[in-house]
Structures are given as C-alpha cells and as structure tokens.
Chain A
Amino acid sequence: MTKIRNPKDFWTAVIYITIGSIFLFVSRDYPMGSSLKMGPAYFPTVLSSLLIIIGVISLARSFVQQGTPIGSFTFRGLLVVISATVLFGLIVRGAGLIVALPTLVVVSAYGSIRFRWGESLALAAGLTLFCVLVFLKGLGVPLPIVGSWFTR
C-alpha cells in the first residue's frame, strides 16, 4: 500500500472530491443550455468539475510530496460549541431566551479547560440580562423572552 505523505492534502482532496461530486451529480437534473444561453446547470457543472480536478491533483500530491501532520484536533471544543449552538436552536422558541441563553452560555463555557460552575452561572446571568436589555428592549429585536412552553 502506498503511504499518505501529506495528510492535509489528502483530507482536503477528500472534501473537494466529495462536495464536487455531489454538486456535479445534482446538476445533471437541471437543463444545461448552450454557451450562448446558459442553463441553470452550466456554471455549476463547470465549477464542480474544476473542484473535482483540483481534488484529484491534491490527492495525487498527497502520496508524492511530504507534508506536515494535521496537529491536535479538539473534539471537546468542537463537540461542546456545536452542541451548545444546536441546543440553543432547539429550545429557543419553546423555552424563550430566558432559558436558552443561560443554557448556551453554561454548556459552551464547559468547553474551556478552566471551567468553573460559579463563574459560568454568573456570566450566564449577566449576559442574559444584557441581551434582553440591549437587543430586545433597546433595539427591538423580535425574539421571545419567555417561550411558548411556559406561556400557557
């Protein structure tokens, strides 16, 4: 088996080829048109083919040219930040900002290796108060303070 010498090239290639193929595949459903009257598929087909070509070159290069390793990958940070954001999206309408904001703050603060409960709760309270006052009262952003789950 040949060895991957440049993991960055390799994984970038994988992403480019995958996304390029998806776009190329979906484009086949749209009318191509001609170079005079370009259809909705024309430009995307050109672009996705180009992306696949770039991916293939990068893939080939990853076996030839020596590269540097990708380096540390923080699954903790990634997971915490993303789940905090998604969680916020799930509860913001039902529970309202008064619950969703502190949840977002405390869950995401957990992503730091120096997480402390007391600090985070204080930060959550402060930020929630600030946002409600500035965004909702001050700037009139139409967001629910208390969500539909509690108002009935």
Chain B
Amino acid sequence: MELIANLHLGFTTAFTGANLLYCLAGVFLGTLIGVLPGLGPTATIAMLLPITFTLPPISALIMLAGIYYGSQYGGSTTSILVNVPGEAASVVTTLDGYQMARQGRAGVALATAAIASFFAGTVATLFLALFAPPLAELALKFGPADYFSLMVLGLIAAVVLAQGSLLHAVGMVVLGLLLGLVGTDVNSGLERFTFGIPELADGVGFVVVAMGMFGLGEIIRNLENETLRSEIVTKIAGLMPTKEDWKRMLWPTLRGTVLGSALGILPGSGSILGSFAAYSIEKKVSKNSAEFGKGAIEGVAAPESANNAGAQTSFIPLLTLGIPSNPVMALMIGAMIIQGIQPGPAVINEQPALFWGIIVSMWIGNFFLVILNLPLIGMWVRIIMVPYRFLFPAILVFCAIGVFSLKNVEFDIYFMALFGVLGYIFTKLDCEPAPMLLAFILGPLMEQYLRRAMLLSRGDPTVFFRRPISATLLTLALLALIVSCIPALYKKREEAFREEQ
C-alpha cells in the first residue's frame, strides 16, 4: 500500500530526535499562547518566523504547525477555567465548559476537551493523509483562471465569516489586496505605491502587518478595559470522566470531528466555523439539549473536537494548492517560501519527506498535547493567573525584536506601529482585520493569475465561467455571498456572534 509506505517515510522523518524536540517545542508554545488570552497564534508565528530561518525546513514547519494546533488545545483550558476564550475557536467551549468547572467538574471538562481533541486530531490527520494526495493530483489540472476563482472563493468565505457588516468586510478584503500590491510589480519591474521609500520596494512585509494588526492592535484594545478577570476555578480534582460521561461524549465527538474536518478544508474558515456549527448541531440533536449552557459535557466535546479537526484539515489547501485558508496558513506559506519551497501541488511529489513528515508530526504533536494538558494542568493554571500588565510589555518586546531581526531595518518597526494603530481603529469600527490579512498575502498572487488567465484567453473575461473548475468555484462563492445576505440567515449570523460575546 502506498499510504503505508508514505506514512512510513513520514515516521522516519518525524521521529528523529531534533524533529521530535521541535514538535514538542511547537505544541508547548502553542499551548502557552493558547492559555494566555490576548496572544494568538497569528502574532506568535509572526514573531517566531525570523527565528525559523536558521532551522532546516522540515523542523521549522513542524514547529510552526505545532504552535497552531497546540493553541487550539490551550484555548480550551482558559475557556473552561476562566470563562475567557484563549482563542477564537474555543469561544463556544466557554458556554458549557465554564459551567462544568463551576459545578466542580473542571477536571472532567478539561479531560473531555483533551480526549475529544486528541481523537479529532488523530482522525483529521488521517483524513489529511488520505485526501491530500488526490487533491494535489486534481490541483495539477488547475489553470490560472481556476486559481484566481479559488482565491475569490477563499476571500468570500473569509468575508462571510467575519464579524460585523458584510459591506465593510468586503472593503477590508479589497483594502488588503491593494496593500498587497505595494512594491515592485513582477511583470514590468515598476515600483508601485512606494512613495519613493526605498524600504517599500519589496512591498510591505507580511510579518510586519500581522504583528502590527494582531500583536500591537490587540494590546491596545486590551488596555481599554483592564477589568478583573472573572473568577478563576483553580480546584481541579477527578480528571477521569465517568462511564456515563464517556457514553455522552462519544457521538458528539464523532460528529464534531467529521463536521470540523469538512469545514476546516474550506478556504477562509479554518477551525472557527466548525466549533460553532458543531455546538449548534449538538444542541439540536442531543437528548440532553436542555442542559446545554448549564454544563453539558456534549457542549465541550463537540466544539473541541471540531476545532481541533478543523485546525488539522485547514492544512489541506496549503499543502495541496499552495493557497492559505487563514492568516496562520499565510504565515506558513511565508515560512515555506523563505525556506526555498514553492508551496503548491508539486510539494507532495518533490518533497515527500517534508509533506509526510509534517503530517505524521501532527499526530505525534497531538499525543504530546494530551500529556502536556492533563498531567501538567497545574502549571497552565498558574500561567493563566499572570496579570496582563506583565504580559503585554513582554509581547511588545518579542514583536519589536522579531520585526527588527527580519531585515535589520528600523523602518519595519515604525511600519508595525502604524499597522498597530490601523488595527486598533479597525477593530473599533467593527472591521475585522483577519480577512484583510488574508487578502494582503493573496493580492500579488491574484494579480498574477488574473494576468495569466486573461493572456491565455486572449483578453476574454468569460474564461472564468467557461472552465468547469473555475465556474464551480465562482458559483460557490456567489452562493455563499447570497446566503449570507438573506435577512433571516443574516440575523442568525448576528445571533451566533452575539452568543460569542
């Protein structure tokens, strides 16, 4: 069997001492930032990107991937113990997880989250191993027009999932695309929108934008109201779920895993959508739906399995198409390019050790995470109690060092500050920065594919509707947009987000 041989290659790659260590470091860091509210995977990976330059490509990507899915685990810990989601994807876990903790079942809630996540992570990794190769095969048939339409779909998905006004989210995407065009035009060699600033010839650094908007912007927003956190549950006794608990979490975990895996593949979604969808479905189908919101174990198992499954499968578009599905994946693309790997369907065949090594490392990482999260829970509890006034200067220090070491120019620091201001203003105006960041990285790619598609079709724009793949993708994008415009659903979308707050 080819799969077995591939997985074997993956195991031999991931099971070297150094790679195991980087995997452990990644998931440890991921858990840490997941536990710390106000520091997300986007800002962290942006900060660490310059450091990974010196590592071999496989180790670097294994570690960065570990940070991402590790943060999904850590995020659930704060949701359960403090009622503050560490990550956007664990927002729904607060609803029942914190209630369980208040009823003295914090240990069981944490164990449920970890077990559900581990199960989902394992299954989703298998999905990734099974479906990525045929998808990469399919991707080889993609022409420039198809790539362009795929990116349109990804951006529309990001818009539909964004909070606040739909119109403004579209605006943020367009703004991101425009900012992405700053710098030297590949076709003509012309420097565009640089305003004569030599540092802008290579464009605005992606890491600079990410750290500014997600690092600095978030700090400023958090300084707005430094209210005391809600009561922290520190007493954790009895990790082991009872027989009844096991029975109740079985189906929600299975459904959450499938749903999360499927939704995670969608460009623009990642792990957030899955956790929301899984929770609302469980609430409808569960026998114990009356208990939801009052500490139902299903309400922890379903979203936690879904968000972890989604975190794994969101690597599929990255590894098979070379297209990021969220800002974290965009950073991973940046990391790959820096390491001299062109992300895309060719990676699987040209770098099989890298591809399968990453996949296997994800499974190993999930195993590490269970160990890190259950026996060591006491340590994370102590970290949660670190006050924010110690935390944010540290984040700022890492951002400043990270961005300066990138190219060794002060200019990047000032630009990071500028994007910090912009990020803060946009969050105040209910314009979410995530779609903008995604568009920012896709901007130059989209222009390239648009140019190529038009050149191949001799200037005929109908090519986007005549190619079956492209037409399907555009139809999906249109449907997503229409569905989110329908008032009844629009209201639902608002409601779903209101629950979040």
Contacts and interface: CB of A to CB of B under 8 A. Distances in A.
Contacts of A77: 219-220, 223-224
A127 B393 contact: yes
Contact of B392 (A16, A58, A108): A108
A81 B420 contact: yes
B238 to A, nearest CB: 36
Interface string A28-63: 001100111111100110011011001101100100
A108 B454 contact: no
Contacts of A82: 216, 417, 420-421
B165 A9 contact: yes
Nearest to B430: A8
Interface string B148-177: 000000000000000001011011001101
A54 B216 CA distance: 27
A142 B450 CA distance: 40
B190 A16 contact: no
B349 interface: no
A38 B63 CA distance: 40
Contacts, number: 191
Contacts of B192: 26, 30, 40, 44
B459 A34 contact: yes
Contacts of B428: 70-71, 73
B413 A40 contact: no
A43 B447 contact: yes
Interface string B211-246: 000001001100111100000000000000000000
Interface string B436-473: 00000000001100110011001101000000000000
A113 B388 CA distance: 11
Given A44-B178, A81-B216, A140-B54, A93 B410 contact: yes
Given A26-B193, A38-B451, A92-B404, A112 B223 contact: yes
A133 interface: no
Interface stretch (B16-24, B181-189, B361-369): B181-189
A94 B305 CA distance: 50
B212 to A, nearest CB: 9
Contacts of A51: 171, 174-175, 178
Given A81-B219, A81-B223, A81-B396, A40 B190 contact: yes
Nearest to B165: A9
A3 interface: no
A40 B50 contact: no
A19 interface: yes
A84 B187 CA distance: 40
Contacts of A43: 181, 446-447, 450-451
B393 A104 contact: yes
Given A19-B175, A30-B192, A55-B171, A86 B417 contact: yes
A147 to B, nearest CB: 12
Interface string A67-103: 0001111101110111011101110110001000100
B458 A36 contact: yes
B413 A11 contact: no
Contacts of B54: 139-140
Interface residues of A, number: 73
B50 A141 contact: yes
Given A85-B400, A101-B397, A115 B389 contact: yes
A114 interface: yes
A142 B226 contact: no
Contacts of A57: 167
Contacts of A81: 216, 219-220, 223, 396, 420
B224 A72 contact: yes
A104 B397 contact: yes
B455 A142 contact: no
A37 B455 contact: yes
Contacts of B195: 26
A131 B225 CA distance: 29
Contacts of A109: 389, 392-393
B279 to A, nearest CB: 26
A12 B168 contact: yes
Contacts of A48: 178
B421 A127 contact: no
A146 interface: no
A123 interface: yes
B414 interface: yes
A26 B197 CA distance: 14
Contact of A135 (B167, B401, B455): B401
A113 B296 CA distance: 38
A23 B178 CA distance: 8
B424 interface: yes
A60 B436 CA distance: 23
B454 A47 contact: no
A70 B221 CA distance: 13
B431 interface: yes
Q: Identify the 4 closest CB pairs spanning chains A and B, nearest first.
A: A77-B223, A36-B459, A89-B413, A112-B389
Given A89-B414, A89-B417, A93-B410, 5 more contacts: A23-B193, A57-B167, A89-B404, A105-B397, A119-B390
